[in-house]
Every structure is written in C-alpha cells, then in structure tokens.
Structure 1
Amino acid sequence: MTAFEFDNSEIIDRLYALAIENGGSSEGEPGFRPRYSEDFYAAYVRDPDNNKIAFVGRLASS
C-alpha cells in the first residue's frame, strides 16, 4: 500500500472520487478512522492494477 498525506479533507475526498471515476475500486470511503486515532481521516482505493492507495490526514474532527 502507498499512502499520501494531506492536510485537508476536501482534497482527500476529491482524490478518492477521481480514483473511483477513473477505474479504481473502493477499499474504504473517506471519513474519520477513530480506531486508529480521533484525528485520522482517510480514504482507500485499489487502482486498476490492484495496488492499494491511501489518502490520509491528521485533521480536527468537527
């Protein structure tokens, strides 16, 4: 798995949407993952070659 870190949930949401629109499959929709940490926001996809990609950030939950 390759992870890319961002400081903005909108970027993570948009990258997830773009990945799905371009042939990726969902491995976890964008959202907070409190089981890892209260501020951990992530989205997971698989690309058409079956590589897992994570878009993550440490963000303040609202």
Structure 2
Amino acid sequence: MIDHLGVPARDLARSRAFFLAALAPLGIGVVMDVTAEQTGGSAHVGFGANGKPFFWLGDGHPAGGPVHVAFTAETPEAVRLFHRAAIAAGGTDNGAPGLRPHYHPDYYAAFIVDPDGNNVEAVCHTAG
C-alpha cells in the first residue's frame, strides 16, 4: 500500500493551480502547504482528502522524466469532469474518457498530460 507520492514541478504555482482544478471533480484538494523555510530547501503542496495529503508536488528538484499517476474516481461522470477540468486548466488530452476493457471490463478512465509532461489519469473501476 502506498501512503503518498511526490512529483517534482518546474513551476510549483502553475502545477498547484492545474491540479487544484483538475482534481476537484474527484474530491481531492490542497490539504497542506509546506514552505522552503520549513523544509530547509524546497516548497511542497500536498493534495488529498479528509485531511490526509497523499499526492505531493515539490519544487527545488529537477524533473527527471514523465511519471504516470492515476487517481480513483467514484463514477464515470467524475472521470469525465476530471478530463474536462484538466483540459480547461491547461492540460493536454492523452486519452478521452472511455472504457479500457483490455485492463478489465469496467475500467473507465481518462488521461491528461500535465504542465510538466506527466501522464495523469482518473479511473473508475465500476463503470458497468
């Protein structure tokens, strides 16, 4: 089980705004901000739900290569809203909302490329 995941951001403010908009339809928002002064080096923003940050963006580290991260969506409609919000926030379509039966019959997902080139997915496992 993964407790949390950290991803570097070239422009933390831009990435914060992107994910704030893109993840809102999934019930995920900013839970915590940590300043460079607090860490002694770099700033971070923690996204999560119910007071628990599980997806962190951080500055001060060069982005290596693109990563893939998938967020759980409760319904196919939430997947569609994520896709729409992420594009409106500056993301690039990397796979329109729809079934991906090659994973399993009810795998309903959408994919976006974020401002740092990462592949971000919202997935619902109960589409049928």
User: Hey, which of these two has a bigger chunk of helix by percent?
Assistant: 2
Q: Normalization by structure 2: what TM-score?
A: 0.46
Alignment of 1:15-34 (within 5 A): 15-34=82-101
Q: Which has the larger radius of gyration?
A: 2
Q: Which runs of 5+ in 2 are unaligned?
A: 1-67
Provide runs of 4+ in structure 1 moved above 6 Å: none
User: Hey, which of these two has a bigger chunk of strand by percent?
Assistant: 1
RMSD: 0.9
Q: Which runs of 5+ in 1 are unaligned?
A: none
Alignment of 1:7-46 (within 5 A): 7-46=74-113
Name the counterpart of 1:50: 117
Q: Normalization by structure 1: what TM-score?
A: 0.90
**Residues paired across the two proteins, number:** 61
- Give the CA deviation at 1:60: 3.5
CA distance in structure 2 between the aligned counterparts of 1:32 and 1:15, rounded to whole angstroms: 15
